[in-house]
Amino acid sequence: MKKKRSFETAAAQAGVGADKAFGAVSAPIYTTAIYRYDAFGKHRGFDYSRSENPTRQAAEKAMAELEGGSRALAFSSGMAAISAVMTLFSQGDHILCSDDLYGGTYRLFEKLLRPCGLTFDYADMGDPVAVAKRIGKKTRGVFIETPTNPLMKIADIREVARIARKRGILSIVDNTFMSPGLQQPLSLGADIVVHSATKFLGGHNDLIGGAAIVSDPALGERLHFAQKAIGAVLSPFDAWLLLRGIKTLAVRVVRAQRNAEALGVFLAAHPFVRKVFYPGLPGHPRRELHFSQASGPGSVISFELARVAAVPRFLNALKTVILAESLGGVETLITHPSTMTHADIPVEEQAAVGLTPALVRLSVGIENADDLQSDIAQALRKAQR
Ligand SMILES: *Cc1c(COP(=O)(O)O)cnc(C)c1O
């Protein structure tokens, strides 16, 4: 058997070899909708770019390798990828989900798919006993995020995937927060990994994209059919940007994580910070479980200010840290989940899972750590007044 390339090598050489015509090291951008047939009934594997496009294929091949899967499908957004995956289910099916999901995923499930006849429940995926109890006769899938957004709750990928497999149901992991640089759910037994490629994979806040990655080729075929039938495909330009971003994924993830670890310690010791949610800190619930399935804590930190009323002043006082949605890019961003990313989740449900209006979420980038820390320190000082 051919030895697998290491992660860093696969990332740096993403797209290399895609150009069969001239050997271009940078994968060419094939901005074409259609492909000429060589003869009646005969083409070279490409007929229409919704079905296949060489640049998109290069990005898909790279993502499959990074997640250790057999096949990846690239979509026009993370939500498009999740939507395509959800077409694997049909009316009456029940899907058990993490109880602290990305707001857009929750919105898709509750506002669009529930009226179509799918049902969803939300559970603490870090507790395998509770998960097993919540799986019923109609359950056909489990949908996990770990760490969750924004409360950084840890799910047990191995155990949930094992329970799902035993019951013959699909396990899906949204691996956006960790990226394959830190966590590879397929190797832990999950059936499908989904990504918002907008985040760490792209890494530069310059594209919207998504992906679904699988080990089982038959499942890959079903998802390819869904991708083609729905048509929310990643454009050739964005596929190229994504490949370019992926090339530095390995170094970006490590650097951002180092910055985040330093900021986590600083925030945890700050008197105006009530609580820090970050698996990199001692005392984080299920920290050991996290490190049994991921190689690091990542670079997203949520924290609560001591007073809700101080939140706007704090956010407005930041100069280097950018107030914006999203995460996983080279720039450090901060968001206010309860009014921004998670605004579609009813306030009572936010409160029930512990998402308070005092919470902010920091996506730490690759800037100088001292610059970030002094910016946050001065904003906290102003917020306390
Ligand atoms: C951003 C995000 C999504 C949605 O991806 P888009 O590219 O914005 O459509 C899904 N899951 C998680 C965890 C995310 O952070």
Active-site hit among 199, 244, 286, 361: 199
pLDDT in tens, 174-210: 999 999 999 999 999 999 999 999 999 999 999 999 9
30 is catalytic: no
**Which residues, 6 or more positions from 362, have their beta carbon under 8 angstroms from its beta carbon?**
260, 263, 300, 301, 302, 303, 321, 332, 333, 334
Q: At what angle do helices 369-384 and 249-269 cross, to 10 degrees?
A: 30
216 is catalytic: no
Q: How many CB atoms lie under 10 A from the CB of residue 302?
A: 22
Active-site hit among 19, 50, 216, 307: 50
What are the structure tokens assigned to 11, written together? 């990332």
Q: To the nearest whole percent, how much of the chain has pLDDT over 70?
A: 99
pLDDT in tens, 96-119: 999 888 889 999 999 999 999 999
Cα separation, 260 vs 266, in Å, equals 10
Q: What is the pLDDT of residue 149?
A: 85
Q: What is the pLDDT of residue 2?
A: 63
Is any atom of ligand 1 closer than 6 Å to the C-beta of 263? Answer: no
Is any atom of ligand 1 closer than 6 Å to the C-beta of 208? Answer: yes
Q: What is the pLDDT of residue 350?
A: 82
Task: Tell me the residue ranges of DSSP E strands in 117-249.
Answer: 119-123, 139-145, 170-174, 192-196, 210-214
Helix (H, G, I), strand (E, B) or coil at 83: helix
Distance 102 CA to ligand 1 centre (A): 7
Spell out the domains of the chain, with CATH numbers in brackets: 7-246 (3.40.640.10), 250-383 (3.90.1150.10)
199 is catalytic: yes
Is any atom of ligand 1 closer than 6 Å to the C-beta of 104? Answer: yes
Cα separation, 337 vs 192, in Å, equals 27
Phi, psi of 269 (to 5 degrees): -90, -5
Instruction: Tell the residue nearest (CA) to atom 2 of ligand 1.
Output: 196
Is any atom of ligand 1 closer than 6 Å to the C-beta of 298? Answer: no
Q: What is the pLDDT of residue 341?
A: 79
Distance 39 CA to ligand 1 centre (A): 42
Q: What is the pLDDT of residue 345?
A: 78
Distance 327 CA to ligand 1 centre (A): 9
Element (H, E) at 96: strand 94-98
Question: How sure is the predictor about 1, in pLDDT bands with cuts at 50, 70 and 90?
Answer: low
Q: What is the pLDDT of residue 101?
A: 87
Q: Is the pLDDT of residue 171 over 60?
A: yes
Whole-number mean pLDDT of the chain? Answer: 96
